[in-house]
Every structure is written in structure tokens, then in C-alpha cells.
Amino acid sequence: MPQSPSLLELQRAFADSMLGEHYPLAACVRPHGLKAEQRLQVYRNIVMITATDVLRTSYPAVLALVGEEFFSVAATRYLRTYPSQSGNLQDYGAHFADFLAVMPEALSLDYLADVARLEWARQQAYLAGESAPLDSSRAGAVVNSGLHLLLRPDVHLISSLHPVLDIWRFSQAPSPEGLSLGTGGQHILVWRDKDQVAMQAIDQPASRFIAALIEGASMDKAYAKATEDETEFDLQGLITLLLHHQLICAIEEHTT
């Protein structure tokens, strides 16, 4: 580090000092009664506290499941692995599920990453843009056609081999009976309902149908996906659910 670094050199070294173990910038800081490292450490602590608080707000169920101490270790390591890439902190934490999935100390909690995925989907649902719902009288005729049914931008689907919706609810309001983890996987539809986030478990064929729609498949292709293993698929029930909550925003004809 030169004695008089350029602005670019200084800012890179500052960022390294915040996210790493060392303080490459110490030689450029006036000690003024303290060690230069102590002054940089004030900033490192502030950066860490801000990032941890954002994760704490976005991932309350993960926090409840692992406890404060574990969470802050995970948050510190996450910041160093996936530093924020946005000036808007609402974007921070997008990779927390991927991080937890491979964090050695979390491997025994094999459902934890999926709980984190559900929580990120909840946040995305809350922050998604506005869209006018479809006039429901138009929806009945298009089922099982080559038309495309567009879901609102706040609609998300989380599929897990674990009962993550049950786990999420238990983490927020534990019941004395406890929670069984052996009840199989869950598919959860997540959307914004006024200023709340709503969640509902749907069955596997319905989740395959929704996943195909989100990927841009036409209605008939999505239907084929839903029924590919010949399990029973209640299309009418699912469409009724989507209409009831006004989760469809358009029906379109695609030429491609």
C-alpha cells in the first residue's frame, strides 16, 4: 500500500479491510491516540452489524431455528462470501439459502436452506411490483389450451423435500406438541395479499403446473407436466385458488 494511494487504491483496500481478516489500509490512517487498526475496526463492526441486522429481518425463521450465536457466525461468514452488491439493503441476502446449504456446521439441519428459500420468496413477494388482476370471467375458457397464463410478479413457488411451511410456522409460534419433520415435503405458493405475505401448501401436480407456468410454458404443456406421472391433478381446484386470490394477471397468445 503506497503512502499516498489513489482514491481507487484506497477504496479497494478499505473494502478488503472490512471484509477480510487484516487491515491493509492501516498505514494510511492517522492513529490520533489509538491504533489505526482500532479505528478501522470501528468501521468493520458497523458494516458487520448492519449486514447482520438485514439478514435478521429477512430471515426470522432461520434465526429462530438456529439461535442468535449461530446466526451471527453465519451472518459474518456470509458477508465475507457474498458481500452486498447493491446500494439498497433490501437486495442483500439473496444467496443466504445457498450459503446455508453448504455451511458445514448447518449440514445436520438439512431443511434450513429451504426455510431460507421460503423466507427470501416471502420478501420478494412483499417487494414485487404492482399488477392489475385479470377479469376472472375470461379465465374459464382457456384451461388446457395453447394460451399462456401469466401469474403476478409477486407469486413464488418453493418446493422442498421437507415440511418447510410447517417448520416456518412452528419457528414463529412454537406449539407444545412440537413438530414432526417426517411428514414429507411441501410445495408452497407464496404471494402478497394487501400488505401481508400469504402462503399456502399445494400438492405436487399443482406445484409442477405452477412451476411450468412460471417458466413460461403454455397451459397445455403445463398440464402435461402436472400429469406426467399420472397422479391425479385437480386443475379446476387450482384455477379456482388462483382466481380467488387474483394471482393471474394476464392470458396471452404467444407466437413463438
Partner 1 sequence: MEPTLSGPVSIPVRAGIGLRPPHMALVMDEKPDAHWFEVHSENFFGGIEMIGLLERVRRDYPVSLHGVGLSLGSADGLRMAHLEKLSRLIERIEPGLVSEHICWGAIGNVHLNELLPLPYTEEALDTMVERVLVVQEFLGRRILLENLSSYLEFSHSTIPEWEFVAALSRRSGCGLLLDVNNVYVNSINHGFDAEAYIRAMPADAVAEIHLAGHTRKEHLNVPLLIDTHDRRVSPEVWALFDLAVRLLGPKPTLIEWDQQIPDFSVLQAEAALAEELMHAPIAITA
End-to-end CA distance of the chain: 56
Nearer to partner 1, 85 or 137 (CB): 85
Q: Closer to partner 1 by CB, 52 or 171: give it.
A: 52
As measured in angstroms, the least distance from the Cβ of 79 to partner 1 is: 10
Interface positions with partner 1 (CB under 8 A): 3-8, 10-12, 14-15, 18-19, 27-30, 32-34, 36, 38-40, 42-43, 46-47, 50-51, 83-90, 92, 126-130, 195
Decide whether 69 or 130 has the Cβ nearer to partner 1: 130
- Three-class SS state of 157: strand
Min. distance of Cβ 57 from partner 1 in angstroms? 11
- Minimum distance, C-beta of residue 87 to partner 1, in the bound complex (Å): 3
Nearest to 250 by CA among 154, 126, 148: 148
Task: Answer positive or negative: Cα dihedral of 44, 46, 49, 55.
Answer: negative
Residue 137 and residue 248: Cα distance in Å, rounded? Answer: 12
Measured distance CA(207)–CA(189) in Å, rounded: 8
Q: How far is the CB of 5 from partner 1 (least distance, A)?
A: 7
Task: Identify which of residues 195 and 252 has a Cβ nearer to partner 1 in the complex.
Answer: 195
- Report d(CA 24, CA 87) in Å as an integer: 24
Nearer to partner 1, 194 or 244 (CB): 194
Torsional sign, CA 22, 71, 110, 227: negative
Q: How far is the CB of 4 from partner 1 (least distance, A)?
A: 4
**Dist CA 211 CA 222 (whole Å):** 8
Q: Specify the residue for cell string 385479470.
A: 134
